[in-house]
Amino acid sequence: MPDLYDGPIIDSHHHVWDLGLGRHPWLAAGASVAHRYGDYEPIKRDYLPADYLQDIAGTGVVASVYMEAEWTPGDGMTEVRTVERYREESGVPGSMVAQAWLDAPDAADRLSELAAVPAVKSVRHKPGGATSRADVEAGVRSLLSDDSWRAGYALLAEHGLHFDLQTPWWNLDEAHRLAADFPETTIVIDHAGVLASRDDETVAAWRAALERVAEAPNVVIKASGLCVAGTPWAVEANRGPIEDLVRVFGAERVMFGSNFPVDGMFIDFRGLVDGYREILSAFDADAQRAVFHDTAQRVYDPRPLTDQTS
């Protein structure tokens, strides 16, 4: 049997939220938005740092990265301040990806505010656009191709901020152009390019899209969010996609992310980590450490849990 990874892990993508604050419209009672996982009622509950720490206990996670959680639009600094408080009280998270609206009239000021917070390493603004391959073929484009949005994006480099991109794989050709036009900014593709099904044709097209975008050296990718609606997370369903990510990008450009508590609808944290350990055992020890730790360390530089200040 190949050796299973037993070193430190950085979780590059998770959320925490207090629904009592009333700042997450999509998680409010009675709310329902289109979600690739279908019914998400089970996650309409508080998920605080204490809950996350309980989930990761004994799994080897030494640091984590908070991902903005669709906080009330335009109120991103309040989210950052809330998460900063969690960070100082519990050590969770070690760094964060903040909400930013790059096409907003005040984008420059907001990015300056975010960049002044040491824990903020990246921003996310879901770009919308084509919702199918047919839309792309019909000429539908996302904000990644919008001049006003790109003007905001151009400001990221001067602040040393990365960009987390969550978009379906069929929009990744736009991401490739964006990466080429702004080579000083790192693009982090979230959730492996959103592979929502496992039929052979879709997987082949997804893999081809990854191969094209991986040509840009300033693009990295998260092995995260690989659940399929109505199907428990399983090693055999995810072995091929995760191996593809490593082979296409190289382990030094791939990072593990749990997407908890959302992916917790399909598997517990230990089961998820153990599944990744089994799959990644196909690669050598250096590659395993890169995916589990080193890539996220280089990109997000999260403060370790043991370095909490209170």
Per-residue pLDDT tens digits for 112-137 = 999 999 999 999 999 999 999 999 99
pLDDT given at position 310: 32
pLDDT in the model for residue 306 = 81
Quote the tokens at residue 147. 């001049």
pLDDT for 307: 62
3-state secondary structure of 12: strand
Do 237 and 276 meet the contact criterion of CB atoms below 8 Å apart?
no
Q: Give the list of residues 6+ apart from residue 181 with CB closer than 8 angstroms, or none.
A: 150
Kindly provide the b/e burial profile for residues 271-295, where b requires at least 16 CB atoms within 10 angstroms of the residue's own CB. Answer: bbbebbbbbbeebeeebbbbbbbbb
What is the model's pLDDT at position 309?
36
**pLDDT of res. 251:** 98
Record the pTM: 0.97
The per-residue pLDDT string of the chain (310 residues; one tens digit each, 9 = 90 and over) reads: 568 999 999 999 999 999 999 999 999 999 999 999 999 999 999 999 999 999 999 999 999 999 999 999 988 899 999 999 999 999 999 999 999 999 999 999 999 999 999 999 999 999 999 999 999 999 999 999 999 999 999 999 999 999 999 999 999 999 999 999 999 999 999 999 999 999 999 999 999 999 999 999 999 999 999 999 999 999 999 999 999 999 999 999 999 999 999 999 999 999 999 999 999 999 999 999 999 999 999 999 999 998 643 3
Distance between CA atoms of residues 4 and 304, nearest Å: 23
- Cα–Cα distance for residue pair 96/127, rounded to 1 Å: 19
Alpha helices in 154-199 (DSSP H): 156-159, 172-181
Name residues whose C-beta falls within 8 Å of residue 71's C-beta, 6 or more positions apart in sequence: 23, 24, 78, 79, 99
Q: How many CB atoms lie within 10 A of CB 54?
A: 10
Q: Are 205 and 173 in contact (CB under 8 A)?
A: no
Token reading at 266: 């399909």
Partners of residue 124 on adjacent β-strands = 99, 164
Cα 36 to Cα 28, 71, 163, 283, 310, distances in angstroms: 18, 19, 22, 30, 38
* Helix or strand (DSSP H, E) at 124: strand 120-124
Phi and psi, residue 265, nearest 5°: -70, -15
Q: Contact, 32 vs 102, CB < 8 A?
A: no
